[in-house]
């Protein structure tokens, strides 16, 4: 999808596998694994949640991205720099689950001698991140989801899963695709729910499905929102411990009141289907701005006092680029480490929904892990 500061790129994810890498890029890109895809770009209740370890205290316009000139090659780090970065690695959440099958971990395993290895492994590879399910595969989705949730349960940790198969996904943009119809999607959701197990799990329900719905007719939008509300109910019924969050876009997109009206229609204000909202998925907006925005959305949404927000902090350490560039913009940094203890009222978690280093399509092929980009974010 291409929208003003808002796109989720899943090229390659939809087919499940990419072909072998071209010559000269074998040490910089990793082929996407079978289980997960982290697409790419987009653009809070005072009472404690029952979710373990969650601590609570107190509009886009379609446009084609403009190609950017290639950045100068990233210099190889010195041994001293590598040692310093190893010591500065952010704390790893003891409660969130790190799935062992990801592109960054594949690159780490395959490139132990690369001078960027220690920095990428300690600052990105060691962190828990979301697992995306972006291909419409009804026959296998239950088993694939179960593999992730059971892996988290076995370790007593909380997995984060992202169903991403809504029909008309991305409004025909880079991540176009999804289920062939809402009936097929509803069936896929039921099969997804069957894999959620009985342990703690966070569900990031369909990035951009609400915030980017203006491309749909009023009737199609209402039908989509009905399916999203149904999806939340299916997840909660299948696993009462599942926490389901709905798409709030981000602080640079729709006004809080408009976003809340749509969210309410999509079921985000009902305890039967929702635990709150998520924002900033694959984008770069500062955490403080997202906290303020999410609280405004939640205030306008109403609903149970327990509704909260989760924020994607994977690449927002330097905030958004001044020129509004969405495609692998230079000068970005890793954001706050994933945690279920934010210390912020109405903010349930900071999560890495977009895996840092997976390209939006400018520093590598869309959806592929690119070591030079990951190193720039991490160092």
pLDDT of residue 8: 54
Q: Estimate to the nearest angstrom the gap between the alpha carbon of 48 and the chain centroid.
A: 24
Alpha helices, H only, the chain: 79-87, 103-110, 117-120, 138-155, 182-193, 218-238, 256-265, 287-301, 371-378
The yes-or-no answer on residue 208 being catalytic is yes
Catalytic residue (choose from 28, 168, 190, 208): 208
The yes-or-no answer on residue 170 being catalytic is yes
- Residues 91-115, mean pLDDT to the nearest whole number: 92
Residue 102 above 60 pLDDT? yes
The beta-strand segments (E) located in the chain are 29-30, 131-133, 160-163, 201-205, 242-247, 276-279, 308-312, 347-351, 369-370
pLDDT in tens, 321-340: 999 998 999 999 999 999 99
Of 101, 209, 191, 208, nearest to 137 (Cα)? 191
Residue 265 above 50 pLDDT? yes
Decide if 178 contacts 166 (C-beta within 8 A).
Answer: yes
Per-residue tokens: 14:
């939809």
The fraction of the chain above a pLDDT of 70, given in percent, is 76
pTM of the model as a whole: 0.81
pLDDT of residue 59: 28
The yes-or-no answer on residue 135 being catalytic is no
pLDDT in tens, 31-88: 543 333 333 333 222 222 233 333 222 222 222 233 333 333 444 444 434 434 333 4
What's the pLDDT band for 22 if we cut at 50, 70, 90?
Answer: very low
pLDDT of residue 90: 57
Of 225, 206, 208, nearest to 165 (Cα)? 206
The fraction of the chain above a pLDDT of 90, given in percent, is 70
Catalytic residue (choose from 170, 275, 289, 312): 170
């Amino acid at each position: 999808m291409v929208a003003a500061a808002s796109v989720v790129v899943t090229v390659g994810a939809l087919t499940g596998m990419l072909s072998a890498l071209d010559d000269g890029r074998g040490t910089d890109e990793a082929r996407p694994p079978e289980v997960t895809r982290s697409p790419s770009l987009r653009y809070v209740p005072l009472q404690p949640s029952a979710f373990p370890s969650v601590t609570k205290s107190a509009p886009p316009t379609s446009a084609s991205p403009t190609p950017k000139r290639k950045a100068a090659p990233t210099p190889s780090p010195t041994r001293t720099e590598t040692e310093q970065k190893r010591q500065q690695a952010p704390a790893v959440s003891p409660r969130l689950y790190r799935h062992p099958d990801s592109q960054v971990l594949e690159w780490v395993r395959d490139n132990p001698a690369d001078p960027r290895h220690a920095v990428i492994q300690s600052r990105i590879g060691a962190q828990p991140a979301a697992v995306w399910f972006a291909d419409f595969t009804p026959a296998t989705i239950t088993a694939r989801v179960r593999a992730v949730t059971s892996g988290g349960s076995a370790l007593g940790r909380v997995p984060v899963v992202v169903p991403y198969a809504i029909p008309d996904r991305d409004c025909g943009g880079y991540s176009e695709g999804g289920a062939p119809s809402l009936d097929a999607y509803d069936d896929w959701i039921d099969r997804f729910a069957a894999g959620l197990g009985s342990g703690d799990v966070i569900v990031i329900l369909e990035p951009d499905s609400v915030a980017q719905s203006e491309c749909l007719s009023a009737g199609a939008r209402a039908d989509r929102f009905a399916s999203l509300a149904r999806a939340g109910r299916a997840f909660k019924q299948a696993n009462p411990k599942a926490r389901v969050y709905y798409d709030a876009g981000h602080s640079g997109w729709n006004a809080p009141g408009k976003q809340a009206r749509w969210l309410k229609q999509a079921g985000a204000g009902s305890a039967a289907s929702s635990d709150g909202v998520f924002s900033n998925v694959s984008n770069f907006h500062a955490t403080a701005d997202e906290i303020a925005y999410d609280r405004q959305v939640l205030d306008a949404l109403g609903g149970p006092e327990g509704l909260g927000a989760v924020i994607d902090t994977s690449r927002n350490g330097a905030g958004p680029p001044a020129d509004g560039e969405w495609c692998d913009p230079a000068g970005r940094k890793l954001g706050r480490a994933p945690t279920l203890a934010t210390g912020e009222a109405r903010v349930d978690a900071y999560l890495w929904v977009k895996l840092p280093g997976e390209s939006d399509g400018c520093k590598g092929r869309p959806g592929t892990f690119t070591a030079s980009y990951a190193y720039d974010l991490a160092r």
